[in-house]
Structure 1
Amino acid sequence: MAHIRILATGGTIASHSGRDGAASVGRAEDITASLSGRHSYSVQDITNANSFRLRLAEVRAVAEAVQAAVADEGVDGVVVTHGTDTMEETAFLLDLVHDSRKPVVFTGAQRPADSPMADGPANLEEAVTAAAASGLRGAGVLVSFAGQIRSARGIRKTHTVAANPFGGGVEVAHFVAGALHITAVPVRPAPLPLPGEDFDNVRVEIIVCALGTTPDLFSHAVHTGADAVVLAGTGVGNAGAGFAEAVQDAVRGGCPVILCSRVPAGPVVPAYGAGGGLDLVRAGAIPGGDLAPTQARMLAALLTSLPATQDEILQALTTGTSRNN
């Protein structure tokens, strides 16, 4: 029997339906009432909010709570309950700084706790099982949902209402008839430092490119004090007229620019001139590999708060891989 620390942050798994819509009102003790007892657990409330309302300060609090939990010799693994809207961001930030071999597993729910078809209890049971699994030691931070466990790096919410809303990343394991089957273990880069207080107030904006968009919003973000900008380009990482010049001005002024793609899957491949990815990189944009713009934003927020150099940001954007189990 393993001992698992469960850290609660709110979200749909802790929500109950009300006149004004679902609201996060449940405590950690409430959402753990259905656990089978195969493993022992302790619980801690970090915050209680729908994840679309979380700020960087709350994310830092979660990171600090996870670090304290894995440092406890009596804890074998950690589960974080979290809303699905921004789970990909918090889980990725924690994976960047996770320096223990103990598994950290995020989970949540798509239906409120008082729904007759509530999915939170089953998801929590599976997350606890994953956090207790010796075969997942060293796997870093994971996301467990509806019988599937994926790496935090690369994961995206790809559906608004599906039972399993997540895609991307690497499938690390899945459940068959209640049994955990491990299929891959992520190969992870060296951990980055935990965020400090400066992280709370970092400003990193995401600018999305579309047909005919101008660089006006991009330049506004830079000129009004953004610490970094993530440019979500079209296709393999392209942007329209004027963006290359705007990127060059931003980088020269000390504002790093990370080039991602608005496409749900696939890497940035600078291949086009005439303002495309080649020109953007030549102007100083850092290719974001296959990171989603939301995850690139979290990496940029952490690094610029440290602070980090342009070369250090480039090094940290090296895409992780996995080895087959």
Structure 2
Amino acid sequence: MPHRPIVSLVTTGGTIASVRGEDGASRPVLSPRELLRAIEVDDVELRVREHGAVDSSSLSLADMEGIADAARQELWDPEVGGVVVVHGTDTMEESALLAELRIDDARPVVFTGAQFTADHPDPDGPANLRAAVLAAADPASRGRGALIAFGGRLLPAAGAYKHSADRADGFRAGSPAPALPRLAWDSLEGRRVDIVALYPGADGAGIDAAQAAGSEGIVLAALGSGNANPRVVEAVRRARVPVVTSSRVPTGRLVPSYGGGGGGFDLVEAGAIHSSYLRPGQARVLLTALLAAGAGREEIRRAFEGD
């Protein structure tokens, strides 16, 4: 008999493992074995590691680090061809990017989950899980970094985002991003990086408040291609921590070309680092990992601008 590829399954809960209780609330209660009963992958040998059973919206960056480390530990076994991480969709794009940064291995780490609970009349979890297992077992997935298998799509983690809360194909790929650095750090426990949302008429209060609360870095969810106004620019100018400018616009390369006192060009002049590809959630993950790894300003700039 030919050797079957080995895929390790790391489960963390999420909608894919959830059913509705008598009180009407859905909770992740299904075991990994119950998840696997719904799929057929006879040509792959599966190993299971139950890492947790939570709603992903409750995860901290340290929790996500633990998930990435669980996947990395599975790859310590040279017989394992790839890893599938079963994860909630609310923060899947953040955890997948953290795995991309944390795991220096050509073998694939594929994230998947579901938009509809396991007891939904038309659950999407089984098809997503099967697709993720097959992608993790496929030699063609090697060297592609962390991936997201969802709704019939296989997406690179970097730049991916959840675009819909109620459609089965809930994720999309962002603009193609340059390769991100693999980083080594001790722990993200206790690290604080905040996202400050900008809007027409915003001032520097959010930036000042984040620093007062102990932020080590700040990500701006700015307008358009990464623009704001003169009051925000002045707050960036006086900031004592790294400030990264991203955008609330979900796709497209961000170019700091606008001046006028508050555009992206002015933010860079005031000291902000422009995130050319990553949107706020993933930009926060990258900035936190860079700070934890001891990166200086120039290294942070290169990581975000794609030099």
In the other structure, the counterpart of 1:161 is 166
Q: Is the 8 A contact 2:175 2:252 kept in 1?
A: no
Distance 2:297 2:71 in 1: 29
Matches within 5 A, 1:1-325: 1-18=4-21, 19-36=23-40, 37-169=42-174, 188-193=179-184, 195-197=185-187, 199-250=188-239, 253=240, 255-273=241-259, 274-319=261-306
Q: TM-score, normalised by structure 1?
A: 0.89
Match of 1:174 in 2: none
**Shift in Å at residue 162 of structure 1?**
0.5
Q: Distance in 1 between matches of 2:282 and 2:52?
A: 21
Displacement of 1:10 in angstroms is 0.6
1:74 CA drift (Å): 1.7
| SS at 1:46 equivalent | strand
Structure 2, unaligned runs of 5 or more: none
User: What is the distance in 2 between the residues matched to 1:98 and 1:77?
Assistant: 12
Amino acid at match of 2:53: N
Partner deviation per Cα, 1:225-282 (whole Å, 9 max, x = no partner): 11100011111111123111111111xx2x1000111111112211222121111101
Aligned residue identity for 1:30: E
Change (3 A) 1:101 1:170: farther
Distance 2:79 2:207 in 1: 48
Q: Equivalent residue for 1:179? A: none
CA distance in 1 between counterparts of 2:305 and 2:105 reads 21
Find the aligned partners of 1:276 and 1:263 in 2 and give their Cα distance. 15
Deviates more, 1:87-96 or 1:232-241: 232-241
Q: Distance in 2 between matches of 1:277 and 1:190?
A: 25
Deviation at 1:318?
A: 4.0
Assess if the C-alpha contact under 8 Å between 1:47 and 1:58 holds in 2.
no
Deviation at residue 141 of structure 1 after TM alignment = 0.5
> What does the per-residue CA deviation read over 1:198-237, in whole Å, with 9 as the maximum and x for residues that have no partner?
x121111111111112211121111221110001111111
Percentage of matched positions with identical amino acids: 39
User: Does the 8 A contact of 1:4 with 1:132 survive in 2?
Assistant: yes
Measured after TM superposition, the shift of residue 20 of structure 1 is: 4.1
Q: In 1, distance between residues paired with 2:95 and 2:216?
A: 19
Decide which moves more: 126-135 or 311-320: 311-320
Q: What are structure 1's unaligned runs of at least 5 residues? A: 172-185, 321-325
Matches of 1:189 and 1:246, distance apart in 2: 29
TM-score normalised according to structure 2 size: 0.94
- What is the alpha-carbon distance in structure 1 between the residues aligned to residue 178 and residue 233 of structure 2? 34
Whole-Å separation in 2 of the counterparts to 1:299 and 1:47: 24
Aligned partner letter, 2:27: A
Tell me: CA distance 1:276–1:305, structure 2 relative to 1, closer, same or farther (3 Å): same
Counterpart AA for 2:238: D
Shift of 1:28: 1.7
Task: Report SS of the residue matched to 1:8.
Answer: strand
Q: Distance in 1 between matches of 2:179 and 2:144?
A: 8
Q: Is the 8 A contact 1:261 1:267 kept in 2?
A: no
In the alignment, is the contact (CA less than 8 A) between 1:139 and 1:187 conserved in 2? Answer: no
How far apart in 2 are the matches of 1:235 and 1:272?
Answer: 10
